[in-house]
Copies of this chain bind each other. A is one copy, B any other.
Amino acid sequence: MAVGLHDFPRIPEIKGVRIGVAEAGIKKPNKKDVVIFELCEGASVAGVFTKNAFCAAPVRICQQNLTTTASRYLLINTGNANAGTGKSGITTALATCESLASKVGVDAAAILPFSTGVIGEPLPVDKIIAAIPAALDNLSADNWHSAGIGIMTTDTLPKGSVRSFDFEGRTYTIAGISKGAGMIRPNMATMLGYVCSDIAMEVDLLQQILKDVVNQSFNRITIDSDTSTNDSCIAVATGMAGNDKVTSMEDPLAQAFIATFTEVMQELAHAIVRDGEGATKFVTVEVAGAIEQGDATKVAFEIAHSPLVKTALFASDPNWGRILAVVGRAGVDNLDVDRVQLHINGFEIARDGGRSPDYLEEHGKQAMAPQEIHIVVDLGMGQATDTVWTTDFSHEYVTINAEYRT
Q: Kindly identify which residue among B53, B319, B404 contacts A337, using a CB–CB cutoff of 8 Å.
A: B53
Chain B nearest Cβ from A278, distance in angstroms? 9
In the bound complex, what is the Cα–Cα distance between A174 and B399 (angstroms)? Answer: 43
* Interface flag for A405 (CB, 8 Å): yes
Contacts of A337 in B (CB 8 A): 53-54
Q: Kindly identify which residue among B51, B335, B338 contacts A329, using a CB–CB cutoff of 8 Å.
A: B51
Contact indicator per residue, chain A 40-83, by CB within 8 Å of chain B (1) or not (0): 00000000000111110000000000000000000000000101
Q: Please state if A120 and B350 are interface contacts (CB–CB under 8 Å).
A: yes
Q: Kindly identify which residue among B53, B120, B227, B328 contacts A54, using a CB–CB cutoff of 8 Å.
A: B328
Contacts of A393 in B (CB 8 A): 307, 398
Contacts of A317 in B (CB 8 A): 402, 404-406
* Interface flag for A295 (CB, 8 Å): no
Given contacts A120-B354, A226-B308, A320-B120, contact A325 B395 (CB under 8 A): no
Chain B nearest Cβ from A216, distance in angstroms? 21
21 A-B residue pairings within 8 Å (CB atoms): A51-B329, A52-B325, A52-B329, A54-B325, A83-B324, A87-B353, A118-B319, A120-B321, A121-B355, A225-B306, A226-B307, A227-B325, A229-B324, A229-B328, A312-B402, A315-B406, A317-B404, A317-B406, A395-B398, A395-B399, A398-B398
Listed residue (A84, A315, A397) with the most chain B CB atoms within 10 angstroms of its CB: A84
Q: Kindly identify which residue among B83, B308, B404 contacts A224, using a CB–CB cutoff of 8 Å.
A: B308
Contacts of A314 in B (CB 8 A): 398, 402
Q: Please state if A224 and B307 are interface contacts (CB–CB under 8 Å).
A: yes
Contacts of A399 in B (CB 8 A): 395
* Interface flag for A88 (CB, 8 Å): yes
Q: Kindly identify which residue among B321, B353, B401 contacts A308, using a CB–CB cutoff of 8 Å.
A: B401
Q: Please state if A397 and B307 are interface contacts (CB–CB under 8 Å).
A: yes
Q: Please state if B226 and A332 are interface contacts (CB–CB under 8 Å).
A: no
Chain B nearest Cβ from A122, distance in angstroms? 8
Q: How many copies does the complex hold?
A: 2
Q: Please state if B324 and A404 are interface contacts (CB–CB under 8 Å).
A: no
* Interface flag for A89 (CB, 8 Å): yes
* Interface flag for A85 (CB, 8 Å): yes
Q: Closest 9 A-B residue pairs measured CB to CB? A: A119-B321, A86-B354, A54-B328, A120-B321, A315-B402, A311-B401, A53-B328, A227-B329, A52-B328
Interface size class of A (residues with CB under 8 A): 35 or more
In the bound complex, what is the Cα–Cα distance between A83 and B55 (angstroms)? Answer: 42
Chain B nearest Cβ from A72, distance in angstroms? 30
Contacts of A328 in B (CB 8 A): 52-55, 227, 229
* Interface flag for A32 (CB, 8 Å): no
Given contacts A305-B225, A315-B402, A398-B394, contact A353 B321 (CB under 8 A): no
Listed residue (A54, A121, A315, A397) with the most chain B CB atoms within 10 angstroms of its CB: A54
Q: Kindly identify which residue among B85, B121, B229, B305 contacts A325, using a CB–CB cutoff of 8 Å.
A: B229
